[in-house]
Structure 1
Amino acid sequence: MMGQINPIALFLVVLIGLGVVGNNATITIAAAVLLLIQQTFLSKYLPLVDKYALQWGIILLTIGVLSPLVSGKTKLPPHLSDYVNVKMMLAMAVGVLVAWIAGRGIPLMGGQPVLVTGLLIGTILGVAFLGGVPVGPLIAAGLLSFLVDKI
């Protein structure tokens, strides 16, 4: 007699399929790792993953962004005047804006977890079929927070 199909495991398998079809290793690997954790003795560590993975991911992403500076591949502008131009000022302003928007998303994701499903599905579709990257849920949640506040 077959047991019930675990809907979360099925969802992860679908994500793995979307990752393969969309040629996106990030989605494929993430879903496969979570499926492996869920379906093995490692499932006892899911609360830790749930609690800290976002923070670990942001740390790894920040390391990835800073590493070209540290390795010398990218140089900091040598003079203060190099920071004072339209492109650099726009880059800094957009960086501040996106960080602020993403910061608004964290409380929304915690306060209305049902919306996380929609954000994740949208992000996954964007990653799998539009060549996006999976940092979208935080920014999407931040943008959604502006809309949800009005509803």
Structure 2
Amino acid sequence: MNGELVLVALIIIGLIGRSPIITTAACILLIVKLLTLQRYLPSIERRGMELGLLFLTLAVLVPFASGRVQTKDVVSALTSWVGWVALAGGAVAAYLNSRGLEMLKLDPQLIVGIVIGSIVGILFLRGIPVGPLMAAGLTALFLKIIQLLAGK
């Protein structure tokens, strides 16, 4: 029953905060629970991020498939300083994602803070929840900085 109450609270928070992603996700999970389809929750947990990243990647690559981005655009992006900064940003993000995944494997209870922090970011900062791994990567970076500053 506790899980259902949390999901209802997330639905309400999502509605108040005008976050259709949180509202929809919580609704889907509540339906899964109410229809006693809990046996699918581990599969959703295990494969959900992969599917989400797949669809996010598909959306990002559509301009290539549709022809809106052409070879000259790629060459231009890779020969400009802005393109090099974007390349560095992508590389750093991928590195942070790997550190985040590593940290979540070692300390899975951090996901609670990451989820709540993501909800706060969505509701109050108008953020978009595309990356629990990136949130975990940033958490790992912040923890490392704090450890360095604290001398531990």
TM-score range, shorter chain: 0.7 to 0.9
Q: Distance in 1 between matches of 2:130 and 2:19?
A: 14
Structure 1 unmatched runs, 5+: 1-5
> How far did 1:41 drift?
2.9
Counting only pairs closer than 5 Å after superposition, residues 1-151 of structure 1 correspond to structure 2 as: 6-72=1-67, 74-78=68-72, 82=76, 83-149=78-144, 150=147
Closer, same or farther: CA 81–69 of 1 in aligned 2, 3 Å:
closer
Structure 2 unmatched runs, 5+: none
Comparing 114-123 with 76-85, which one deviates more in the overlay? 76-85
Q: Distance in 1 between matches of 2:9 and 2:74?
A: 50
> How far did 1:129 drift?
2.2
Comparing 74-83 with 60-69, which one deviates more in the overlay? 74-83
- Identity among equivalent positions (%) equals 34
Comparing 24-33 with 135-144, which one deviates more in the overlay? 135-144
> How far did 1:133 drift?
0.7
Dislocated runs of 4+, deviation >2 Å: 146-151
Q: Distance in 2 between matches of 1:75 and 1:11?
A: 43
TM-score (norm 1): 0.87
TM-score (norm 2): 0.86
Greater length-normalized contact order (CA 8 Å, ≥ 6 residues apart): 1
Closer, same or farther: CA 89–10 of 1 in aligned 2, 3 Å:
same
> How far did 1:136 drift?
3.6
